[in-house]
Amino acid sequence: MKRFLVIDTETTGFSPAYRKDRIIELAAVEIIKKTVTANKFQTYLDPDGKESTDEAFDKHKLQDSFLKDKPKFKDIAQNFYYYIKDSTLIFFNRKFDFDFLICEFKKAGIDTTELEKQKSRCLMIEATNRFKLKRNISLVKACKRFDINF
């Protein structure tokens, strides 16, 4: 039985390596046999003192003060790693979200070798190719094209 996980993140900025930005919200939804199950994951995370850039804050609207008492990624890393292990991982922007996950797992001391080999998909690229667009499609525009309301 194939297990898919649709994963999304919110972050303090756009560069996990250079700026040392952090994940501040992590969510995943399980899909089995084309059905969303009740096995979901969602948590807010304390970015360990890393403040959000203005541009990132404009997207997620999560106040630093709200995040202060939340768990740090290292506190949930092992459980989340086992939750996503052996699943096909689906991201809207795989490069962005997956790079952040890998950086966070490494900071938490978790070996990412197997995770980096795990099957994953990028819906942004798939939608861009499907509609034969010259530039990557945004999440909002992709949802409109697929008639998805949120």
Going along the chain from its start, the domains and CATH numbers come out as 3-122 (3.30.420.10)
DSSP 3-state assignment of 57?
A: helix
Q: What string of pLDDT tens digits covers the 150 residues of the chain?
A: 799 999 999 999 999 887 899 999 999 999 999 999 999 999 999 999 999 999 999 999 999 999 999 999 999 999 999 999 999 999 999 999 999 999 999 999 999 999 999 999 999 999 999 889 888 888 778 878 778 776
Question: Is the whole model's pTM more than 0.85, yes or no?
Answer: yes
Q: Residue 40 to residues 6, 36, 67, 80, 149: CA-CA distances in angstroms?
A: 10, 9, 21, 11, 20
